[in-house]
Amino acid sequence: MEKLTIKDIDVKGKKCLVRCDFNVPVKSGKITDETRIMGALPTIKYLMEQGAKVILCSHLGRPFNIFNATIDRKKIKPADAEKTDDQLRQETMEKCSLEIVANRLNELLDNKVTFVNDVVGEEAEKAVNACKEGECVLLQNLRFYKEETKNDQAFAEKLARFGDVYVSDAFGTVHRAHASTAGVVQYGYIKTAVAGFLIEKELNVMGKAIEEPRRPFVAILGGAKVSDKIGVISNLIEKVDTLIIGGGMAYTFFKAKGWNVGNSLCELDKVDLANDLMEKAKAKGVNLLLPIDTVCADKFDNDANRMVSAGGVPDNWEGVDIGPETVKLFTNALKGAQTIVWNGPMGVFEMPNFAVGTKAIAAALAESDAITIIGGGDSAAAVTQLGFASKMTHISTGGGASLELLEGKVLPGIECLNNK
């Protein structure tokens, strides 16, 4: 169902608790990619301009729960075993604090953002109460509390006290039922829950492409494992005209067809499933395409010896990319398509010598007149690294969330929003 957005309600004078995705990469004390910050700005600016009191919350990295009494030492790396809890907390604070995001936001929002080194305690409460219309408060990293990912009801209640309205704008987290993504609404503490502009775009573009696609509709799936995308494949077979499968997951299908896979990644326990999926595609009249030749390497290294093998993979070699004939097959299948969804690289694209297939697919999408949607994660990273991002219709901001949307699953962080 269509969800209410921030434009559907009056926010003036109201405290808007906004779940953002500020999980940005940080190296040597600097943000190395601001895409997620820039993606959040339209929603934040709109709320400020409308006179809302904007309370921002997010996570950053996978920190220890430093605001709890004890640290789970089962999760500590061996190199850190001798460090005290206080040392670990301090290092976590330095590495995962959202203060660096607050500093950047202040540069972008005329110093109207107050950062508070707390989430639900007294310091946070004071900052929220002092927030004026058209200003922002950014709370500290939500995951400094273990209660966040556990969707703890008491924690969700404390967080919900900071909002008259809940605004969901972190698509990368909506597939998780955490306190900040679902609990604040799920437990009934905030009655008005709406989508921000980022969520609205994801639902409009990806949702419509899947449910009401312009045809021919082609889906390209890559990545490592069939098991990661069983639901996606099954759901898309019901919707697409052509399904292209590449990447490491293709070798399980090779095995199902009786082809040799050498040392390639292959899930032997999913071979029967691969057969079932191919039969299902055939029964539905879906054109399911697998690689017809493979770039093989004698070891997992960019400088490994390479060869191209038609069909299967020779013994003691492993498949690392689609071959030149497969590139022709796949790119020809994209010609004339009106909707193309891509999730997962065609090979080990992190290694330049094995990125040829992924780059060829990205180039074909960039030249296409179709609606082109990149389903987050490695695909988004590949398109960005290869310089084709600006040529795509939409690049999803959520890897796991976009996969579950493609799979047809209910996303807790979307389901909890008010329907129009």
| Catalytic center residues | 36, 225, 377, 400
Instruction: Give the Cα separation of 180 and 221 in Å (integer).
Output: 31
For residues 178-206, one letter each, b for 16 or more C-beta atoms within 10 angstroms of the residue's C-beta and e for the rest, the string is: bbbbbbbbbbebbebbbbbbbbbbbbebb
Instruction: Give the Cα separation of 293 and 58 in Å (integer).
Output: 44
| Degrees to nearest 5, angle at CA 232 with 227 and 234 | 90
Contact 195, 4 (CB under 8 A): yes
Instruction: Give the Cα separation of 332 and 342 in Å (integer).
Output: 15
Helix (H) or strand (E) holding 54: strand 53-57
Instruction: Give the Cα separation of 378 and 266 in Å (integer).
Output: 19
Phi, psi dihedral angles at 5 (to 5 degrees): -120, 175
For residues 74-106, one letter each, b for 16 or more C-beta atoms within 10 angstroms of the residue's C-beta and e for the rest, the string is: eeeeeeeeeeeeeebbeebbeebbbbbbbebbb
For residues 321-355, one letter each, b for 16 or more C-beta atoms within 10 angstroms of the residue's C-beta and e for the rest, the string is: bbbeebbebbbebbeebebbbbbbbbbbbebebbb
Instruction: Give the Cα separation of 296 and 263 in Å (integer).
Output: 10
| Beta carbons within 8 Å of 218's beta carbon, 6+ residues apart | 240, 241, 242, 243, 244, 333, 334, 337, 339, 340, 341, 370
Contact 290, 329 (CB under 8 A): no
Can you give the length of the chain in residues?
420
| Beta carbons within 8 Å of 113's beta carbon, 6+ residues apart | 56, 102, 105, 106, 135, 136, 137, 138
CB atoms within 10 A of CB 70: 9
